[in-house]
């Protein structure tokens, strides 16, 4: 049994906003209130959270953990250590592992690995199609029974519209979303960065906004026609978010996420960092107009979720010419700092909105239980909002140190991560 004292608790879902204590026993929240009186104080551990903010546990609903198959890039263990270090109590890994997570056996393996580790929780995402080949539907029903929370062919968009239509029809019976990696690969083929001023200047083949927007539009149309559920992953353009806004106004069941790197950086970063392949991500860093539009859609409430698209790679993979490097940024350990620095401190969002973007909305979309409520298991993300820190990629718990944010000064350091009542991270140290 222990008590968290003097933290500033933020959970609009449960009407909490202010300084209060939280008493936790056997992993469960048993009392929430101001100045909780403690009997048998010698038997109760007290954690003073003065100056810290207590959020319902953050969920990163878009990560790549690489295991099984590419344990040189990341393992479930290193990925979950990175998650709790970054302030996340749970993650939803994409299915593009080797073998692909398109069947019950792989789903069970992932869940069992996470259960043994007792770090962050895992909510697997299953493939839409077998082998992510876009030819026939995967065994979605079987995977749902094993515990998947959504389906996606992230990294390999389903170009066959009829197959996508069938997927929307099929998932309705499970009430799970189809997560769309929105990319027309015929338009984006061989592109390595945003198409525009800097791709011309740097002599690199560009990826136009239309490659993303065409598929966003298609998937909204199919979702609306089938009255199904759609989640747009890593939206990066003004046009994509405008279409989502219009679809929401029509009543389409569509949600959307953006990443910290897309609301922080622009394609100019490729030049600033002298062709560093740590700036290479898909969808690419867009121009200032798109970046500013993303921020406004966050401010206006159109964006539902901030997710990292955590994509760790080895030094060997990234230490090649820009054209040949894999896409991806290792993002789970810098996400909270970027949200605080670029959004909270600049008054784009407030604390309640931060809780929505990182915890409440991801849980609603994926139907995950949580929240700071008496009787619930304690799943909490405790952040030192005003703490300044410098990103040091060599201190990452993730195997992937491919970050464009190295040596950047940020506000907002995760202080404590509590999963099912267990303190798994405190002040940067993994305890789980």
Mind telling me the catalytic residues? 309
Closest by Cα among 177, 69, 183 to 126: 177
Residue list for the binding site for Zn(2+): 62, 64, 154, 181, 234, 309
Structure tokens at 92: 């939803």
Residue list for the binding site for substrate: 64-66, 96, 282, 313, 327-328
Q: Which residue has the tokens 């709790």?
A: 84
CB contact at 8 A, 102 and 138: yes
What whole-number distance in Å separates Cα of residue 277 and Cα of residue 323? 9
CB contact at 8 A, 218 and 158: no
What whole-number distance in Å separates Cα of residue 195 and Cα of residue 391? 29
What whole-number distance in Å separates Cα of residue 184 and Cα of residue 181? 9
What 3-state class would DSSP assign to 113? helix
* Numbers of helices and strands, H then E, in the chain: 15, 20
CB contact at 8 A, 137 and 167: yes
Residue list for the binding site: 62, 64-66, 96, 154, 181, 234, 282, 309, 313, 327-328
Which value, in Å, is the radius of gyration of the alpha carbons in the chain? Answer: 21
What 3-state class would DSSP assign to 3? strand
Closest by Cα among 393, 392, 386 to 413: 386
Beta strands in 275-321 (DSSP E): 305-306
What whole-number distance in Å separates Cα of residue 204 and Cα of residue 310? 24
Helix (H) or strand (E) run with residue 17 in it: strand 16-25
Question: In the β-sheet with 305-306, what is the strand arrangement from edge to edge?
Answer: 125-126, 150-152, 178-180, 230-232, 254-258, 305-306
Closest by Cα among 77, 80, 73, 115 to 96: 73
Give exposure, 63-82, as e/b (b: 16+ Cβ within 10 Å): bbbbbbebeebbbbbbbbbb
Would strands 409-419 and 380-390 be described as parallel, antiparallel, or unpaired? antiparallel
């Amino acid at each position: 049994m222990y008590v968290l004292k003097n933290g500033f608790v933020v959970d609009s879902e449960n009407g909490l906003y202010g300084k209060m204590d939280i008493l936790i026993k056997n992993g469960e929240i048993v009392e929430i209130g101001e100045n909780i009186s403690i009997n048998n104080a010698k038997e109760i551990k007290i954690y003073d959270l003065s100056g810290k903010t207590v959020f319902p546990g953050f969920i990163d609903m878009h990560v790549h953990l690489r295991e099984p198959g590419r344990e040189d890039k990341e393992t479930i263990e290193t990925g979950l250590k990175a998650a709790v270090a970054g302030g996340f109590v749970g993650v939803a890994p994409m299915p593009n592992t080797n073998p692909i997570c398109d069947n019950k056996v792989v789903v069970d393996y992932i869940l069992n690995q996470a259960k043994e580790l007792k770090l962050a929780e895992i909510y697997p995402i299953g493939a839409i199609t077998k082998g992510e080949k876009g030819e026939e539907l995967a065994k979605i029903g079987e995977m749902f029974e094993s515990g998947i929370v959504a389906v996606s062919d992230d990294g390999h968009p389903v170009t066959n519209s009829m197959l996508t239509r069938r997927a929307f029809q099929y998932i309705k019976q499970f009430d799970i979303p189809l997560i769309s990696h929105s990319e027309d690969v015929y338009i984006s083929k061989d592109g390595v960065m945003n198409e525009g001023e800097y791709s011309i200047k740097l002599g690199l083949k560009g990826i136009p906004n239309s490659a993303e927007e065409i598929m966003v539009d298609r998937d909204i149309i199919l979702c609306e026609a089938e009255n199904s559920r759609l989640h747009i992953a890593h939206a990066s353009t003004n046009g994509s978010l405008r279409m989502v806004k219009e679809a929401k106004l029509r009543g389409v069941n569509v949600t959307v996420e953006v990443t910290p790197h897309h609301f922080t950086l622009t394609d100019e970063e490729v030049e600033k960092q002298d062709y560093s392949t740590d700036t290479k991500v898909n969808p690419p860093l867009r121009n200032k107009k798109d970046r500013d539009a993303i921020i406004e859609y966050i401010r206006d409430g159109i964006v539902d979720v901030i997710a990292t698209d955590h994509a760790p790679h080895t030094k060997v993979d990234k230490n090649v010419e820009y054209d040949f490097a894999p896409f991806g940024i290792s993002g789970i350990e810098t996400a909270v700092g970027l949200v605080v620095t670029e959004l909270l401190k600049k008054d784009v969002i407030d604390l309640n909105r931060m809780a929505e973007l990182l915890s409440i909305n991801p849980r609603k979309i994926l139907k995950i239980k949580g929240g700071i409520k008496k009787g619930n298991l304690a799943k909490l993300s405790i952040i030192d909002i005003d703490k300044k820190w410098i990103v040091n990629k060599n201190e990452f718990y993730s195997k992937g140190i491919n970050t464009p944010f190295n040596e950047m000064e940020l506000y907002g350091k995760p202080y404590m991560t509590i999963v099912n009542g267990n303190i798994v991270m405190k002040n940067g140290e993994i305890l789980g």
